[in-house]
Amino acid sequence: QVQLVESGGGLVQAGGSLRLSCAASGRTFSTLSMGWFRQAPGKEREFIAAIRWSDGSAHSADSVKGRFTISRDNAKNTVYLQMNSLKPEDTAVYYCAAGRYSGSYLHLHQYYSIWGQGTQVTVSE
């Protein structure tokens, strides 16, 4: 069973940057699509970005496009989320997720079967 562990969250000022990492255990990482989601208090879980295992293609939500970048290193069983130009509204718990699906609906959390415990990102004014 694959397990995911996020790291890299913290407190940063608006305009700053953070890089989140999500390390996966197990030998099947290269055949898993990976996604990042976030959830702020009182709000629904929100899709941030995803990267497919099948062709390495990535896409991100409009709210973070141009600021956040997802990437993966299959040799290290790790997926990253580089976050630049952070805004206070980016404050949330960030979760990485994994699943075998590689179609057009990776923005939907239902297509992921494995979730990490989350890491807090707080962006101050």
| pLDDT of res. 26 | 82
| pLDDT of res. 93 | 98
Question: How many C-beta atoms lie closer than 10 Å to residue 14's C-beta?
Answer: 13
Cβ atoms of residues 81 and 88 within 8 Å: no
| pLDDT of res. 27 | 79
The per-residue pLDDT string of the chain (125 residues; one tens digit each, 9 = 90 and over) reads: 899 999 999 999 999 999 999 999 987 899 999 999 999 999 999 999 999 998 999 999 999 999 999 999 999 999 999 999 999 999 999 999 999 999 999 999 999 999 999 999 999 99
φ, ψ (nearest 5 deg) of residue 30: -65, -15
Structure tokens given for 31:
């055949």
What's the CA dihedral at 59, 38, 110, 32 to 10 degrees?
60
| pLDDT of res. 89 | 96
φ, ψ (nearest 5 deg) of residue 88: -55, -35
Collect all residues with Cβ–Cβ distance below 8 Å to 59 and sequence separation of at least 6. Answer: 49, 50, 106, 107
Q: Is the Cα dihedral 116, 104, 77, 60 positive or negative?
A: negative
